[in-house]
Structure formats: structure tokens, C-alpha cells
Structure 1
Amino acid sequence: MKALIATLALCAATTAGAQHMHGAPAPASFVASSDKPFAALMNDAMAIMDRDMAAAPMNGEPGHDFVTMMMPHHQGAIDMAKAVLLNTQDPELRNLALGIIAEQQNEINVMRAWLARHPSSTRSQHEHH
């Protein structure tokens, strides 16, 4: 599990670094707008997701670290789905995107609730006493 989390963190940091080298820093938040081409929207979504995954507050507890990294990952999927909704009339893709938005948002809500029930300091407090 630690290897998976380390790999996810490395991938996020590497991709965020590559994005920064090739373009402007990630916007503060994602805005689905028809004023931008689809590729730019996808780049924004990826840059924000990568930045937020790399900045996830890790404490070494696998469950906590998994959840804090998965929340921005799921938000990235929501943002990408919003981008495709602006750019396609294909009914299958629109249904897929709408399903992604609903399911990923639900999972983010579940993860937030889990974090509220499992404070991030729990493991470190037990290890120090």
C-alpha cells in the first residue's frame, strides 16, 4: 500500500512538474467554459488534479493518505466530464459524463465523511504515546 501511495504521489508530482514546464501554472480552480478549447480545459483539469494530489495532506496512515489523494483525483474526473459535456452532443458520452459527475461527487462526499470520522492526527497521536 505504501508503494502504491508513493507511486501515486510521484506520478502526480512528475505530471504537475511537466505541466508547469510546458505551460502556465494550474489555475486556482477549474471553470468549464466554452471560451476555451477542449484541449485547454482538459489541460486545466489535469494540472489542477495533479497539483492538488501532490499537495494532499499525508500523515503516513494508508487509509487517510489514500482518501486525501483520491479526492482531488475524483474531482479531476468531474472536471474532465464537465469539459466533455461542453464539447459533445454524443448521447453515450453525455450519459457517461453525467454518470461520472454523479458517482465521483458521491464518492468525494463519502471520503469527506470518512475523514471526519477518522481525524488525520489519530495514528500519530497513538504512535507518540
Structure 2
Amino acid sequence: MAKAAPAGSSPQHSDETRFLAENNAAMDKMMAGMHAKPSGDIDQDFTAMMIPHHQGAIDMAQAELRYGHEQLRRIAQEIIVEQQQEITAMRLALGQPLPPPAAAPDQPSDLAVPANPQNR
């Protein structure tokens, strides 16, 4: 059951608060993941930093799908697909295991957090 917005706030304000929290968490996770200890292998070091960077873009695009509006939905979907493909290509180039396959979300309802129906 959806939690009611506090008195004096709108559902849009509540969505903005949740979006900012998710976006900040994604950025914090990305920045922490990019602090990789040098391995002595340039390609390994590059991917150790770039994979969290790309995953951060995916996480931020998913937050946009959850809370954003129609104008940017396609761009967010494209970011998710493209960044997943680049992560896969980097892992393949280094012989690393691939992440499990996942369908790209095409609607906010495909994501873990329900979207506000007013955004559609």
C-alpha cells in the first residue's frame, strides 16, 4: 500500500525526494566502486573503474524510469541497454564472468519500486 504524502506536500514532491535519494545512493555506490587498487594491468584497472561507472549510469537511469516523465523515458531505457552492453563487452574482453541476463525495463512497472501512475 502506498504511503500517503505528508500534509502540505504533493505526490510529485514525494517522488522527487525518492528520486534524489536513489540517485544519490547510485552515485555514492559508483564513486566507491571506482576507487580500485591498481593491479599492474592497465586493461584490468580501466575496467575496474569503468564497470562501476556504467553500473551507476544504469542505476540512475532506472531511477529516472521510476520517477521521471515521458520525455526522458526512452533516453533512460537506451542508457540502460547501452551501458549493459558495454559492461558485457568489457567483461568478455578480459575473460571475466558475465552478469546474469536481464531484460531491459520498458515501463516503470518493470522495476522493483512501483511508479507513480500520474507520471504516465
Instruction: Tell me the TM-score normalized by structure 1.
Output: 0.58
The 5 Å alignment of 1:37-116 reads: 37-54=18-35, 56-91=36-71, 93-116=72-95
Unaligned runs of 5+ residues in structure 2 are 1-14, 97-120
1:61-101 CA-partner distances (Å, limit 9, x unpaired): 2222111110000000000000000112223x101000000
Unaligned runs of 5+ residues in structure 1 are 1-33, 118-129
Taking only the aligned residue pairs, the percentage that are identical comes to: 47
Root-mean-square deviation (CA, aligned residues, Å) is 1.7
Count of residues in Structure 1 that have an aligned counterpart in Structure 2: 81
Which structure has the highest helix share of the two? 1
Which residue identity is paired with 2:93? Answer: W
Which residue identity is paired with 2:61? Answer: A
Instruction: Tell me the TM-score normalized by structure 2.
Output: 0.62
Tell me how far 1:57 sits from its aligned partner: 4.9
Which residue identity is paired with 2:54? Answer: H
